[in-house]
Amino acid sequence: MRPILMKGHERPLTFLKYNRDGDLLFSCAKDHTPTVWFADNGERIGTYRGHNGAVWSCDVSSKDSMRLITGSADQTVKLWNVQTGAQLYTFNFGSPARAVWGPLNRTIVSAGEDAVIRIWDSETGKLLREADKESGHKKTITSLTKSADGSHFLTGSLDKSAKLWDTRTLTLIKTYVTERPVNAVAMSPLLDHM
């Protein structure tokens, strides 16, 4: 294995995501411009222009790598066509946001500074449900990731906790309490480690 230097962003990176096949790498940065690269040689394929703030997260559709979602400090989550770079839809929030795909790419899970988790219809943009505020985070959600099959997702927060959720029902499964704010979360493919 050899390192590949990829040059293209003008500000610090905030998030990286491979597609399911591992041939594409998506990068997010404080320069407002998500970028897609060939993973094997580091060649930049293109950029997605439309955000007006740092881009904190991205997720690519799992089956076909045809759609990308990005969450930004500009208080929007945007849906993109991966091949053309066309912006397909914008979800507006009252605070900076993060987002991942739900099961079968039919829904989008979002979270952010308002500490509320929401599930949206990815075709219509309609809000389907919000998490119960009593069981949810009490401060800004800083990180959001999903399981390989999209059935669960994990959130991290400034409230010094991480929470595991069922994506379909938006039910809290478990809370992990820490001594410090949680800035990044990850889970193993078998959900046996968070």
Q: Is 191 left (phi over 0), alpha (psi -120 to 50) or beta?
A: left
The Cα–Cα gap between 79 and 101 comes to: 11
Distance of CA 165 to the CA centre of its chain: 15
Each of the 194 residues of the chain gets a pLDDT tens digit; together they read 778 888 889 999 999 999 999 999 999 999 999 999 999 999 999 999 999 999 999 999 988 999 999 999 999 999 999 999 999 999 988 889 999 999 888 999 999 999 999 999 988 889 999 998 899 999 999 999 999 888 999 999 999 999 999 999 999 999 999 999 999 999 987 777 77
Q: What is the CATH number of domain 102-189?
A: 2.40.128.630
Return the number of other C-beta atoms located less than 10 Å from residue 2's C-beta.
3
Give the type of residue at 105.
N
Q: Start-end ranges of CATH 2.40.128.630 in the chain?
A: 102-189
- Record the pTM: 0.90
- Does domain 7-92 bear CATH number 3.30.70.120? no
Structure tokens at 32: 């407002």
Q: Are 38 and 23 in contact (CB under 8 A)?
A: yes
Q: Start-end ranges of CATH 2.40.10.480 in the chain?
A: 7-92
